[in-house]
Structure 1
Amino acid sequence: MNNSTNMVDFDLSPTVDYDNFAVPVYNEASSKFYSNLVPPLYSLVFIFGLLGNTLVVLVLIGYKKLKTLTDIYLLNLAISDLLFIFSLPFWAYSAKHGWIFGNAMCKILSAIYDAGFYRGSFFIILLTIDRYLAIVHAVFALKARRVVYGILISGITWGVAFLASVPGFLFFQSQQGINYWICTSYYPSRKWKEFVMLMMLILGLVIPWSIMAFCYIQIINILKKYRHERKQKAIRLIFVIMIVYFIFWVPFNIANLLNTYQDTFFSCSSEHDCGGGNLTLAIQVTETIAMAHCCINPVLYGFVGEKFRKYLSVFCQKHSRFFPGLARPILERSTSSYSTTEYNISVGL
């Protein structure tokens, strides 16, 4: 995921030893966007993502007590987003002032950044499958949806995400630019760059989107058999989840794919001919949008759920000095909503 985020000025990187795309293309628009707009945008993502995911963690641990498989997955998603978010201040600072944190931190934070990207996608898949089992295979779910299984699967998921982040640790390094140091990728060959790109595309988009589409189509087919006033709301929420995931992640993956295979798509002999600077800007913009998804996750997978809102209102009331005027609206909304979780597609919280 770091193909562009960690760069400061794209004309400052050293020459890479492969193909005709050896010299990164400087683009004034991308340089201005990265140094002027990325720091405040990353700061907003950090603030809202930190607030939303911290509330999810506190409510799940302090009030819900992690009683269900869904609780386990949602907690892991929130923790994953928090770890990802904690790396953003470093990238925001380096976008404006250059990389001053050393080579070790460059590698570690790049790996954390990439692992957060994969973990987020993986736990969204698990939440989707959990919903699918609970609604489509309700009898089987009574045996399969156990907390111990959730803990085991979550551990495996963290391990897979760690392995997927290894290229970020290996291929990112702190390098001397013309004016200051930068933390950027340095692939030993074009094949490695293509491999990392395809891995990110398959693990971060193709597999999650395919599973979500299959599971939610099956869920919708089940919901259509029931007559209830909240059925349409549940179906709309399903479409919102899928559309939001599509909007946040597809543009970034397309931009990254075009950048990796630009000589194939555009039939050009050099990155200058392909308009590499414009692709760099496209990656920067779409990646910033994609990372904002960690601010949306608490809303889609936590706050929308009726039970979660009730626990959240209790939490806000108990800490009313930190959340003035927030507890009562949450409580009123949750007590007035339909209490049955059959149509509560927001993971039944």
Structure 2
Amino acid sequence: MTQCWIMEGNLAYLLGSEDMSVGYMSPASNSSAAYEHNFYYPELDINCDLDNIPAFASAFFPVLYSLLFVTGLVGNALVIWILTAFKNVRAMTDVYLLNLAISDLLFVFSLPFLVQYSITTQWTFGNAMCKIISSAYFIGFYSSAFFITIMSVDRYLAIVQSVYALRVRTAARGAITSLVLWAVAVLASAPDLIFFQETTYDNQTKCLPHYPGSSNGWRTFSNFEVNVLGWLIPVGVLIFCYHSILTNLQKCHTQNKYRAIKLAFIVVIVFILFWTPVNIVLFLDSLKNMHIIDDCQTSQRLDLAMELAEALSFVHCCLNPVIYAFVGEKFKKHLHEAFRKYARFLLFCKDHSGHRLDKHSSAHAASSQSSSVGVVL
């Protein structure tokens, strides 16, 4: 009964309706799909006509990437603004949420380059930018997956291990954990910084991973790295944490029980829905690298599936602000307060400028009247 009483208070944390201080791409890292729509695999000795894939990509993906860039930029920028301007990032939850928004923004900033690349199929930004953008892309991907995972652990501690959580869930520990996760994300992305480079092939300039040697070892390793670090471990942790949360919620008759259950299901289902397809395709791409899949028709379908799966995974960075921030009552209150202050500021500026305009008009009218009188006299 005591555990249920403690859980009642911590449910507010899961739902984001109370102060958190008392209690939160998929890359085809080796497939060229992330930056390449010609799907050039010279090491496979497969001669397939894939011209239909660039045509499809150049018509559909620039529009999609542009929409995702705008929505992802606005949503995550709003989260950062609210957290820094109104909440002061005093709780572990706020630290993780801030870092998740930053990682999503890092991920989103690669989209304009993908738009240009989808349209022209040419890389025009130089070798240095090829390495920088590809690294930012993968760092954003890994860090986003890591922070979603650690936020699930944080929720597990707050609700299932609530007594222990009071001692360990501090902003300082959250900052240290965030630095560690960023370091791991940078290390996981190091191969992309090293191997991605500007390459000229068939009179076209591309930004592609160029792995040493004639084998596909590095490419396959990078695929499995994404599968394990970016999907298998996060999904395992999410399922364990939210299964434990739901099990504990079933024992208690709390006020927000069913809302918390629904939110837990949404977090897990959305992550699996948007990240599983691209990881399945990456796994199949590894089979292709190992020549287990080597027929032309399957290669064509796999390349197109990579494009579609990556586009689906991009959507997740736009949904994170909605799932983790905007559903919380406390966060929505801060957001409403922010817009209200901003609207009040705009009205003040409008009234002030209007007042100055009226004074200027009155002075101008008086001056005109004086001039007329002077002429008459």
User: What TM-score results when the alignment is normalised by the length of structure 1?
Assistant: 0.86
* Gap runs ≥5 in structure 1: 325-349
The answer to whether structure 1 residue 109 and structure 2 residue 133 are counterparts is: yes
Residues 113-132 of structure 1: pairs in structure 2 closer than 5 A: 113-132=137-156
Amino acid at match of 1:197: N
1:70 corresponds in structure 2 to 93
Aligned residue type for 1:215: C
Identity %: 41
How far does the alpha carbon of each residue in 1:11-63 deviate from its partner, in whole angstroms, 9 at most, with x for none?
xx4734xxxx1457442332122222111111111000000000000000000
Superposition deviation, residue 309 in structure 1? 0.6
Aligned partner of residue 261 in structure 1, secondary structure: helix
Greater relative contact order, per chain length (Cα 8 Å cut-off, separation 6+)? 2
Q: 1:207 corresponds to which residue? A: 233
List alignment gaps of at least 5 residues for structure 2: 1-26, 348-377
Match of 1:168 in 2: 192
User: In the alignment, which residue of structure 1 is the partner of 2:211?
Assistant: 187
- Spell out the pairing of 1:193-272 with structure 2 (5 A cutoff): 193-262=219-288, 267-268=292-293, 270-272=294-296
CA distance in 2, matches of 1:71, 1:196: 32
Q: What SS is found at the alignment partner of 1:278?
A: helix
| 100-109 or 226-235, which deviates more | 226-235
Q: State the partner residue of 1:280.
A: 303
The equivalent residue for 2:42 is 15
Q: Which residue of 2 aligns with 1:137?
A: 161
SS in 1 for 2:124: coil
Superposition CA RMSD, Å: 2.0
* SS of corresponding position for 2:233: helix
In 2, distance between residues paired with 1:111 and 1:154?
A: 19
Give the 3 Å change call, closer, same or farther, for CA 322–175 of structure 1 in structure 2: farther
Residues 45 and 292 in structure 1, CA contact (< 8 A), matched pair in contact too: yes
Partners of 2:319 and 2:346 lie apart in 1 by 20
Greater helix proportion: 2
Contact persistence 1:70–1:130 (CA under 8 A):
yes
Question: Which amino acid in 2 is paired with 1:164?
Answer: A
Is this contact kept in 2: 1:60–1:75, CA < 8 A? yes
Shift of 1:104: 1.3
Larger Rg: 2
Q: Relative to structure 1, is the Cα distance of residues 179 and 119 closer, same or farther in structure 2, using a 3 angstrom cutoff?
A: same
Q: 8 Å contact 2:216–2:289 — kept in the other structure?
A: no
Cα–Cα, structure 1 residues 112 and 22, in superposed 2: closer, same or farther, change >3 Å?
A: farther
- Verify the 8 A CA contact 2:69 2:111 in the aligned structure 1: yes
Residue 79 of structure 1 pairs with residue 102 of structure 2: yes
Contact 1:42-1:88 within 8 A present in 2 as well: yes
Return structure 1 stretches of 4+ with deviation > 4 angstroms: 321-324
